[in-house]
Amino acid sequence: MTEAEQSASSRRFDAVGWLRRYGTSLFLLALIVFFAVENSRFLSLRNVSNILTEVSIYGIIAVGMTFVILTAGVDLAVGSLLAFAGMSGALVMKALGADSLGWLVALATATVVGALVGYLQGKTVTFFSVPPFIVTLGGMTIWRGATLILNDGSPVSGFDAGYRWWGTGSIAGIPVPILIFGLVAALGFITERFTRYGRYIYAVGGNPEAARLNGLDVPAIITSVYLIVGALSGLAGFLLSARLGAAEAVGGIGYELRVIASVVIGGTSLAGGRGGIGGTIVGALLIGVLTNGLVIMHVSSYWQQVVIGLIIVAAVAFDAYAKSHR
Amino acid sequence: MAKSGSGVSSAPNLLEVRGVCKQFPGVKALDGVELQVRKGEVHALLGENGAGKSTLLKILSGALRADRGEVTLDGVTLEPSETPRERQRAGLVTIYQEFNLLPFMSIAENLYLGREPKRRGFIDWAAMHDNSRALLTSLGLSADPRREVRHLSIAHQQMVEIGRAVARQAKLIVMDEPTAALGRREVEILHDVIRALKARGVNFIYVTHRLDEVRMVCDGFTVLRDGRYIARGEVKSMETADLARLMVGRDVELAKRARPARPGAAVLAVKGVSRARDSGGWHAIALSDLSIEVRAGEILGFAGLVGAGRTELARIIFGADHSDRGVLYLHGSELRPLRSPKQAIRAGIALVPEDRKQQGCFLEQSISRNMTLPSLKRISRWRIFVDEAQERQLVEKYRAAMRIKMASSGAAVGTLSGGNQQKVLLARCMALQPKVLIVDEPTRGIDIGAKAEVHQLLFEMADSGMALIIISSEMPEVLALSDRIAVFREGCISGFLDARDATENNLMELMAISTAAGPARGAAP
């Protein structure tokens, strides 16, 4: 009977299901139209490029966070890790004496430090069976504090043009951070959609016990997603320091919430096993467009926070409602 | 073929259901269903999966609203808008397969949740514990009411659920598949409690697939099929085979296997598996010196009560649990101790676990993803990218071999019936082309028609030369499927039987069940 139900309902138009699938994208489009009508500057090349560059920094992390949340985990430490890895990269580069390949040293250091810290947190989650919320809540404070210790609270600045290019340069008119975000998102999408590893992530999130009985190495898979999000946080930390011209101890404060919100608004379930990177990109764009549009409309930053919060809750509430009413 | 209602005894009806209809998007789940429960009876509600039993139960409990039709309880019409809470207050309590207990609260708190005895505005703990103890004793359960529910066995938790219904002065207790997770002895205890409560004027609706239990405890029955009312009558006046025919709409019996001329070479040998009982309570029983051997083309059955060591040994063989001692031989050569299912699968051992939903399926994921998950390495390019063309071929091959009925391989496994879900899990194991296949409870919770099909598939696998281990709580099933049977009792193997000589009686002797217990049973298939 359930099979009959399935095939019969697929023939009819399912409005709730359709909205559940495309609702966020539609809302994003509506927002763009609304802001464009309200203010002609909104769709100017300069503003669009601004929005996208802003989105790129946390969007890169959100790609990794999607994997983490698909395994029913979460990483609250990404904002602090961004600062810690970015600062480490800048300091190592300075220590080695900045030559023309200094940016490469900083990029490699930031990414590797991010990956190592992510691996450490992932191992703590799997080996000691500590909930990821706790491990990364601790990590959020630890790595912020460690960043302050690294350079005694002062920013590191004075980067050469080669370094700054990664944050402010462009290729064929497209800012470099946007290109990197595009590359990371594409790799993430390919991983999720076409690889064995992608399947395993969904399996571990959907039913960890069944995944284990199907011969998957569940702890290794869980550890790996924290490693990935750590490495991407490091990459984002490098890009942000290149964009701002300084690696700051206060860089990326609150990013964890923006990143998690992007993933959740994009429809990935915190319970794991359901969702994907396509939705995350829409979610990240939605937050970027909304923040920028409200600024352009001179809505106070206090109200911006209220609006973004409401949208997070509304998106998840709708998803839950649609799921229970079928 | 239906027995007319007027032929049944003239006792007044406690529950009357008339002309209930329920439409879901694209399917009519119930179409004019009738159900009458007389005062003082245990009434069996029978039907295959998808017959509409669950929908009807939800309408009775208030969890769903009927589109049309009327329900009266003790002469009072129940409004369709009533909530489950109001229905319980009216005296109609439903006990689902998944219990509604609070695991971290005590038995007494669960029994009197929301209705705690009070004294001067505070909970009267003494009275609550005394009442609870009296209630538990009347149900034949001697447990401390202060114990947390999570420490109780499934059977005892079920007793607490029943106790809660009694404490609420339920007139009618509806039980959905109450014995699905119980061992034989526990089933008997449950039936004793049901009989005792019946004598005290509590009525039951008893939903089950197991027709032998209907014989043991039920008075009247109603059969649903495809959302329609089919028949009702007295259990006493029906043969078990006739009931089965009413449910399925055709003749069904558990076929025996045409035994192979000669069994092949030994594939898997297990020697001296032992494990101490562990203090953490994770391993409830000790296993001592378990040894078995399975040959190519042979089906070895594991019989015994739940917790006697059947599933425990299977999980050790599969690497999902560990033993203190014991050696595994595959085709005569010793295996390194298996530390994980991953290693077992690589060695050529596959398992269909006992709990399909918790341990087997990824319910929200597609049929094809469920089917190919452990085989992905074989169908990937450079071991990284899944080759979707090969995947489709694999899915189509095993869909056909397992005769899975599905709209599309992209549909979520959770939308399939239990029987088809089980076939997907079998297909998943077959795709691994294992040397040894272990199937724990091959037909738990699936209907009779699908059961016969699953049995046929298992026979075909054995005929192809695979070595099979089958674990089942249902004795007729063990007898029908096995070539040889290993009988488990309290962590030991109490004996091996050749299927040709085995009967339910000598099985029960080895399982240490008193054969005198319970009323005479219906003809076994």
So what's the pLDDT on residue A13?
A: 64
Residue B11 DSSP code: P
Q: Which residues does A51 contact at the CB level (< 8 Å), separation at least 6?
A: A288, A289, A292
Q: Across the interface, do A1 and B26 touch by the CB < 8 Å criterion?
A: no
CA distance A38 to B88: 56
Report yes or no: B35 and B66 within 8 Å, Cβ to Cβ. Answer: no
Q: Provide, rounded to the nearest whole percent, the portion of chain B with pLDDT above 70.
A: 90
So what's the pLDDT on residue B5?
A: 42
So what's the pLDDT on residue B144?
A: 85
So what's the pLDDT on residue B518?
A: 38
Per-residue pLDDT at B359 exceeds 80 = yes
Nearest Cα of chain B lies from the Cα of A212 at a distance, in angstroms, of 7
Give the CA distances from residue A305 to residues A262, A299, A312, in Å, rounded to whole numbers and listed in that order. Answer: 14, 10, 11
Matching residue, tokens 């940016």: A103
**Global confidence as pTM:** 0.77
Closest to B524 measured CA to CA, from B256, B149, B310, B336: B256
Dmax (CA) of chain A = 71
Calculated CA dihedral for residues A34, A39, A42, A47, nearest 10 degrees: -160
Q: Across the interface, do A214 and B226 touch by the CB < 8 Å criterion?
A: no
Counting as low any pLDDT under 50, the low residues of chain A are 1-11
Closest to A26 measured CA to CA, from A321, A270, A189, A267: A267
So what's the pLDDT on residue B250?
A: 59
Q: Across the interface, do A2 and B415 touch by the CB < 8 Å criterion?
A: yes
Q: Is B305 left (phi over 0), alpha (psi -120 to 50) or beta?
A: beta
Q: Across the interface, do A206 and B364 touch by the CB < 8 Å criterion?
A: yes
Neighbours of B497 (CB within 10 A): 20
Place B9 in a pLDDT band, splitting at 50, 70 and 90. Answer: very low
Burial of B284 (0-12, 13-18, 19+ CB in 10 A): exposed
Q: Which residues does A31 contact at the CB level (< 8 Å), separation at least 6?
A: A286, A289, A290, A293
Burial of B280 (0-12, 13-18, 19+ CB in 10 A): exposed
CB environment B486-496: b (16+ within 10 A), e (fewer) = bbbbbbbbbbe
CA distance B13 to B500: 47
Nearest Cα of chain B lies from the Cα of A197 at a distance, in angstroms, of 7
Q: Across the interface, do B227 and A1 touch by the CB < 8 Å criterion?
A: yes
Nearest CA in chain A to B425: A214
Chain B hits for A217, CB-CB cut-off 8 Å, are 340, 342
pLDDT one-digit tens code per residue, B327-358: 899 988 888 777 889 999 999 999 999 888 88
So what's the pLDDT on residue B517?
A: 39
Report yes or no: B352 and B440 within 8 Å, Cβ to Cβ. Answer: yes
So what's the pLDDT on residue B82?
A: 83
Q: Which of B20-34, B111-125, B242-256, B267-281 has the lowest mean pLDDT?
A: B242-256
Cα atoms found within 13 Å of the Cα of residue B414, Cβ hemisphere only? 8
Tokens of B333: 């050569």
- Helix ranges (DSSP H) in chain A: 2-11, 15-38, 45-70, 78-96, 102-127, 132-150, 161-168, 176-194, 196-206, 208-213, 218-244, 255-265, 277-296, 301-324
Neighbours of A252 (CB within 10 A): 27
DSSP element (H, E) containing B449: helix B448-463
Closest Cβ–Cβ partner in B26, B405, B415 for A12: B26
CA distance B207 to B196: 19
DSSP codes of every residue in B12-43: PEEEEEEEEEEEETTEEEEEEEEEEEETT-EE
3-class SS letters over B94-160: EECCCCCCCCCCEHHHHHCCCCCCEECCEECHHHHHHHHHHHHHHCCCCCCCCCEHHHCCHHHHHHH
Nearest Cα of chain B lies from the Cα of A209 at a distance, in angstroms, of 6
Tokens of B297: 């083309």
Domain A21-324 top-level CATH class? mainly alpha
Average pLDDT, chain B: 83
So what's the pLDDT on residue A10?
A: 46
Nearest Cα of chain A lies from the Cα of B40 at a distance, in angstroms, of 34
Chain A hits for B26, CB-CB cut-off 8 Å, are 4-5, 7-9, 11-12
So what's the pLDDT on residue A12?
A: 55
Chain A residues whose C-beta is within 8 A of a chain B C-beta are 1-12, 194-197, 199, 202-203, 206-207, 209-217, 273-274, 326
Q: Across the interface, do B342 and A207 touch by the CB < 8 Å criterion?
A: no
Nearest Cα of chain A lies from the Cα of B382 at a distance, in angstroms, of 10
Nearest Cα of chain B lies from the Cα of A261 at a distance, in angstroms, of 23
Q: Across the interface, do A207 and B363 touch by the CB < 8 Å criterion?
A: yes
Range list for CATH 3.40.50.300 in chain B: 1-91+171-250, 266-511
Map out the domains of chain A as residue ranges.
21-324
Residue B487 DSSP code: E
Per-residue pLDDT at B386 exceeds 70 = yes
Cα atoms found within 13 Å of the Cα of residue B29, Cβ hemisphere only? 22
CATH architecture of B1-91+171-250: 3-Layer(aba) Sandwich (3.40)
So what's the pLDDT on residue A69?
A: 96
Q: Across the interface, do B25 and A216 touch by the CB < 8 Å criterion?
A: no
Closest Cβ–Cβ partner in A5, A199, A207 for B27: A5
Report yes or no: A68 and A272 within 8 Å, Cβ to Cβ. Answer: no
Per-residue pLDDT at B7 exceeds 70 = no
CATH number for B266-511 (one of 3.40.50.720, 3.40.50.80, 3.50.50.60, 3.40.50.300): it is 3.40.50.300
